Structure 1
Amino acid sequence: MLLGRSIRKWWQALPPDKQELLKDTMKRNRWSIVLGICSLSSLIAIYFWTHLDKSPITGRNRLLMFSKRQFLQLAEFEYQSVLENYKDKFLPVTDPMYETTQFVFNQLIEKNKDIPGVSETKWSINVVEDPEINAFVMPNGQVFVLTGLFKAVADSDQLACILGHEMAHCLLAHGAEHASIIQLLDFVSLVFLTLIWAVFPRDSLAVLGQWIQSKLIQYMFDRPYSRKLEIEADEVGLRLAAKACTDVRASSVYWQQLELMKIVSGTFQIPEWFSTHPSNDHRVEHLDKLIPKAIKLREDCGCPSLSSVDPRLVFRLSVQEMLKLSKKKEESFSIDSGIKQLPQYHEPRTAIIERLPTVVSVQALQSTQNTHK
């Protein structure tokens, strides 16, 4: 900002004849200037190219500006900050929620020792008394599970899929990769920031240009890249859970449960492109596409056969039952009160539940219902 503003002030202070002289000089040497810019850009590109690394798990090329030792040192500072934030909130190892988390995570580690990084990482479980629905794993292997998560998961299979997802973030070095991308974006931002403050005629316009630039980078590059990493962690996490003999079908049910909780509670749902994470609907759709391969991997690992009752179907039928009961209550309320319909501004709960994403085909539901009959 200072550099760009100084260039603008210097240019505005020049007499018109000197401005014209400099313009003519630049026109005569334009090819030399272009060559210099291209040379500098090539050096920068080579620098970033030499920091590309191939993931041993996915085989995808990624940008890593930090060595593993450097990033672990940075992660240690963050770890200390998290410990301070959750001070006096950690559950003892004898707590049932801690024991459940430890057992599920041990299964993931034991069955995935052939995955690069699993055996080398010193994993440690931390269960925190906090109502937020969240879990995360730090780059140093510290696993944090907030107790609010246990109110959102239906069983240990869902918990295993969530922990597998978080474990995948650590194994794939997503923290280091995202920090490297942020560093690259910051470098590009500095170049454009200098140009904005140098070219825009007034400070107020430069501030506006700077704000627009930051939002464009945030919503066009940073958040889409973050969502890409989340999707990759879903894929790898599902593989980890499958090898641990988890019922991988429960993975998509968890996100449907979260979606139902949001809809019923009336929580405002921001569009996906505003978020750092994919929408629940997107995750359900993506996971359902991956589940057949995960089931095949599970079979190849010699796991026991899955139950013939698909939890996705159970969830869908449960929602249908909720819908029927809700309709009956509304009809009863309408008859008792003599009201033909609810006010226009009030959305019936049945309409809310009907917006839940369908994950089972109508034919499958009909055949199952016929079987029950």
Structure 2
Amino acid sequence: MVLAPASTTAGMAALSPVRGLAALMAAGLLCPVAAQAQEVSTSGFASLVLGRTSGGCTSSTLAPAFSSNCTRYIADWGHAGVYDEDASVRPETRAGLQATVKFNPQLSATTQVTTRTAKDQALNLEWLYLSYQLSPSVTLQLGRKRLPLYYYSDFQDVGYASNTVRPSPDVYGWDVVNYNGASLSHSMEVAGWSVRSEVMLGTEKSRKNPYSRLFYEEPKDVKWGGIGGTTVEVSKDWFTARFSYARSNFAQTDHATGVVEVAADGPKQDFIGLALNADLDDWTIRSELGQAKRESLGYKARFHLLTVGYRIGQFTVTGGLSGYDETAYDSAYNPLKLKSQLLALRYELHKGGALKLQIDKVKDNSAVTSVGNTRLISGAYDLVF
């Protein structure tokens, strides 16, 4: 999960006019060159997710649109996807299409667009980048990509890739999840281990930021500038480890008035993450932990998740724990402290399609209730094609 309003972490904005034009230009450019390309590949994914909350009524420090509910569960912080006691498919239902055009063995172009039933999320440009293979082990990419903060970042929207309905919101929640810039990746083999490393630089601006709607009635624009970071992933046989680090500054502006609420030269933010995963025969273990901090504000957040799954034929049963714990030295700020548990059942309905049923229980240990205690029952049909 993430830092609160003026202590952000990243989400995804709805397609702005500029990004919309970029998407149309991409489509226009890719179509005529497709006939000249060596290879054109397309793929897609979709998730139909239904859920509702239950539990004792509690107050909330969220914006009125969400705090008025008796119980609430924030399933997707980055897109303001919130369930309440009325069953709904709006918070998380989504679909996406991806196309890659390969011009020659070294050069290709990739784009991905998603649509969501969440408010103001009808069209999102997730990827639009060029890839150039400088050597068999080194690749340069330029354009719009996903921020590689966490293990599932690149494929977080692809519900079929996870045994649970969603990656834990206690870890996966931020106000900017994309960046526009460049990345350089390197792959190699070392003593039987596969090692992939990447460095990236960029910036991102999110207009009418969905995450901010959780805390403010008026829409906000959020900008991350000077984004820089690195990831290193090593794997061998059944084990995978991934380390990530990112740093940026940020600005927040009132969308309607243009009043700067957090200056661009304000405090910088740092993110550190570590994932340790294992796939042992029918067992699946996923773990992730990390922290986000702003030293000049005396702010730090620690988060973690652990899930263990066991496959029985076409079924997979998964249990998990997660948590998010903030500390801050500003007495006016209410640190968020959450602990969560989950139990999920996945059934492979057909090739590329799975049904899931999940129960989540959240305990809010914040000094002042932020989201409140709640239980969520949700079901999903995930598809890749």
- TM-score between both structures, scaled by the size of structure 1: 0.25
Question: Which structure shows the bigger proportion of residues in helix conformation?
Answer: 1
TM-score of the superposed pair, with normalisation by structure 2? 0.24
